[in-house]
Homo-oligomer: A and B are copies of this chain.
Amino acid sequence: MKEVPGEPPRRHRRDPEGHRAAILEAARHAFAERGYARTTLRDIARRAGVTHGLISRHFSSKERLFLAAVPGNRDLERIVAGDPATLPDRIAHGFVQRMETDAVNDPLVALLRSAASDERTAAHLLVAMQESSVAVYRSVLSPDAPGEPGDDLDTRIALLGSHLMGVTFSRYIARTEPLASMPPERLTEHLTRTLRHILFD
């Protein structure tokens, strides 16, 4: 939304959906740039051009704002829904598409950076997010589905998450080759293959 110089931007007065979107976008950028712990609601308010109070009205805490800014369980549920046999394809495709769109501003990347550099809150938040993802995966991968080892299901889901975090780190954070400059389609193929083995082996 373009702002007219000299006039308060319209969304500030009568566009709650516009506010919400502006706050979420500002939050994604701020978390990505400064990490979870060092980002304040005040930073985000300034970036979004709204008041601190308005943020509080939309999101009750920094943690809630963060969770809202992360591509959430609703996206994951959409990706995960469907035939379990082709789940690895959908996860690989969804992951690559999301990261290729905007890895630098991805809140999960921010959280990975923050948790790695010893921010305890970030690590806890990451754990919480992983646990809620596990619940979504479990809804499709029921332990009694054929060909899936019940006991190990949580472990397999955790290894899948670890694999995606490792690839995120190599390709989008440290940018090591050959992963960093691999075409997205090739990466999707490799991930599909590996995730399939991790889940169904």
Contacts and interface: CB of A to CB of B under 8 A. Distances in A.
B161 A170 contact: yes
Interface string A94-117: 000000000000000000111111
A162 B167 contact: yes
Contacts of A165: 165-166, 169-170
A126 interface: yes
Greatest chain B CB density within 10 A among A127, A166, A197 is at: A166
A68 interface: no
Interface size grouping (class) on chain A: 35 or more
Given A159-B190, A161-B170, 8 more contacts: A113-B116, A115-B169, A126-B174, A127-B177, A165-B165, A165-B166, A166-B166, A193-B201
Contacts of A186: 155
Interface string A134-176: 0000000000000000000011001101111111011101111
Interface string A172-189: 011111110010001000
A123 interface: yes
